A and B are shown apart, each in its own frame.
Chain A
Amino acid sequence: MSGDFFIGWAATPPRALRGVLLGAGLAVGLGLPAAGLLLGATAQDPAPPGYATVPGRPGLPDLPSEEALRGVILDGPSPLLQLPGGRTLILADDGKYGPTLDRDALRGRMVAAEGFVLRRGSIEMLVLRQPPTPLDDVATVPPPEPLGRWRITGEICDGKCAGGAMQPGIGIGHRACATLCLDGGIPAVFVATAPVAGHAFLVLGDATGGPALPAMRDLIGRRVTLEGAVLRQGNTLVFHAAMP
């Protein structure tokens, strides 16, 4: 056979080419795993440590935990559950579904709600196992406290993935997923780049206080500046933002 000439159907490559082929084999057989290790080791959630927390104030522990809670259903762009003492949770069902509850019947009522609690930073979501059941107890709902008009920079996220259901759960790479969540009724949250009245995130609605979507669908996942009225409900802020 002919020195260094490789013929594809030959059983073995010519001796003169074995060095090059060994090099290429090692580059693929060892180089690819090395590249995988490098990229796997440097893969980082775009959410930095301390995401959705106010500097100096530790976030909530981030393990999902089963909880049976009692509280008042507050209305807004999406319903909230406010517990006695002011702890306020955003609500959703399992999967990419908003909470199943009769908003008109439960607005301002005391309910029992069960599910698991997702937490990241100061975002806290109760993923309902079943619709909350109304209780006879009388609820005292403090009225929302207006905090004036604000111009805030941040990212529109779905409360569930930003709340830790997915990591990464924010950013453009996750935008389509977040949009599907928000289309399904998961509450929209606005994670601010700097704290707003002592809060790292706000429940987001449109200028009239209705759901943020569909109006803000094209703004999801990237840094935007929105302007509108901010209200305090329980220990959560609600942002009635206008389209920029």
Chain B
Amino acid sequence: MSARQVPVAWSPAKWAYDAVLLAGVFGYLLAFMQLGPLLQDPARPYDGASLAIAAHGSCAFLLLTLALAIGPLARLDARFLPLLYNRRHLGVVTFLVALTHAMEVLGWHFAYSATPPLVAMLSTEPALGAAPGLPFVPLGVLALLILFALAATSHDFWLEFLTPPVWKALHLAIYPAYALVVAHVAFGSLQSAANPALALLVTGCAALLVVLHLAAAFRPAPAEAAPHAEAPWVLAGPADAIAEGRAVIVQPPGGEKVAIFRHQGRLSAVTNLCAHQNGPLGEGRVVDGCITCPWHGFQYRLEDGCAPPPYTEKLATYRLRLQEGQVLLDPRPNPPGTRVEPLVLP
């Protein structure tokens, strides 16, 4: 049994993640604003403030693309799972870079005027329908507000306060935010871009995300478990098919997915949804005698679905039976934390 799990602590891996991320961001901004101009067409120079606006805006777009690519990448290939852990830091950095972009625009395009910058920002574009295209500034403002809401609620406090399903639903707003950012660029600077680099970047990134999400969505889902003659039991497949320390995921007809783990010759079944952020527990492993979630490493005891003390998360457990080498599952969940004696394999 383990109580080593410390989900919010800093580990060397986390430091390394953040260091690489910040090196990438600062490297990007320096290369864009300091080295790029040395290679620019001197006949068509950008001024420093406009260059900073473009650098931070495009950097935020790339970081957002990266944040959205990690999810499907990790679903397609579990080796990318370490990138998912700490993705919240990537989200917060993305918001800060986008905020810097907005502040630079306010301090350059919307300053030096009798109109207050925020009023100017929201009142200087043609109304919807008054000119071709869309007013692109409000699209960016809306995306920034969403990024702010997500960054502000990225701490575990909010996850607990809002409950994982609500928190997850809220954080799905990253997708409309991305669409708003693409529209912000498409109806804004792309309209007057002098070369195709920005267009290629935006369409390339958006296309990559669509392809990754489609590929992840069309991964074969676990087949629905066949009902057993004795209701409500369902057939969960041969016990031999479950490798030591791992699980199979079973989809009972009309019910929630269940993860059936094998540990030291005994089987235990819990919900497939992690109590932290609904991560797919069945893709996890048994580590130190505990079910360990592949997303952030939360752990649960096999016999009662409870996180080891001092943690308090609980999973719904399920009853299992063995019949001629076949595992049978009762798809009715027990209340979270209910003890179920593991099924001893012969």
Residues of A in contact with B (beta carbons under 8 Å apart): 1-2, 4-13, 17, 20-21, 24-25, 28-49, 94-97, 166-168, 170-177, 179-181, 183-184, 217-219, 221-222
Contact = CB atoms under 8 A, between A and B. Distances in A.
B13 A10 contact: yes
Contacts of B245: 2
Interface in B46-82: 46-47, 49-51, 54-55, 58-59, 62, 66, 78-82
B44 interface: yes
Contacts of A180: 109-110, 113, 115, 120, 124
Contact of A174 (B85, B127, B192): B192
Contacts of B78: 4
A183 B37 contact: no
A217 B188 contact: no
A35 B55 CA distance: 10
Contact of B112 (A37, A45, A96): A96
B191 A172 contact: yes
B31 A33 contact: yes
Nearest to A175: B125
Nearest to A27: B24
Nearest to A7: B297
B44 A218 contact: no
A50 to B, nearest CB: 9
A170 B192 contact: yes
Interface stretch (B1-9, B221-229, B323-331): B1-9
Interface of B: 4-7, 9, 11-13, 16, 20-21, 23-25, 27-41, 43-47, 49-51, 54-55, 58-59, 62, 66, 78-83, 85-86, 108-110, 112-115, 120-121, 124-127, 130-133, 136-137, 187-189, 191-195, 197-198, 201, 245, 284-287, 292, 294-297
Given A6-B82, A9-B4, A176 B137 contact: yes
Contacts, number: 227
B86 A44 contact: no
A8 B86 contact: yes
Given A9-B5, A168-B46, A174-B109, A218 B131 contact: yes
Given A11-B13, A24-B80, 8 more contacts: A13-B82, A30-B24, A34-B31, A35-B28, A35-B62, A36-B59, A39-B58, A40-B33
Contacts of B120: 176, 180
Contacts of A171: 191-192
A154 B298 CA distance: 62
A171 B54 CA distance: 15
Contacts of B86: 8
Nearest to B46: A43
B79 A49 contact: no
A47 B25 CA distance: 29
Given A11-B11, A20-B79, A218-B126, A40 B51 contact: yes
A47 B44 contact: yes
Given A7-B297, A49-B44, A176 B110 contact: yes
Contact of A176 (B31, B39, B121): B121
B285 A2 contact: yes
Contacts of A8: 7, 11, 13, 82, 85-86, 295-297
8 contacts: A12-B12, A35-B28, A37-B31, A39-B58, A40-B36, A49-B44, A166-B49, A168-B192
Given A35-B62, A39-B54, A95 B43 contact: no
A2 B28 CA distance: 36
A97 to B, nearest CB: 7
Nearest to A37: B31
A36 to B, nearest CB: 4
Q: A8, A11, A221 — which one has the most chain B CB atoms within 10 A of its CB? A: A8
A167 B46 contact: yes
A95 B66 CA distance: 39
Contact of A6 (B66, B85, B131, B187): B85
A28 B21 contact: yes
B24 A33 contact: yes
B188 A173 contact: yes
A217 B105 CA distance: 20
B47 A166 contact: yes
A78 B281 CA distance: 70
A5 B292 contact: yes
The 5 closest A-B pairs by CB, nearest first: A40-B36, A171-B192, A33-B27, A36-B28, A95-B112
Given A36-B59, A176-B125, A5 B285 contact: yes
A95 B113 contact: yes
Contacts of B47: 166-167
Nearest to B125: A176
Nearest to A95: B112
A9 B287 contact: no
Contacts of A6: 81-82, 85, 294
B165 to A, nearest CB: 21
B44 A10 contact: no
Contacts of A45: 44-46, 194
B133 A172 contact: yes
A12 B12 CA distance: 6
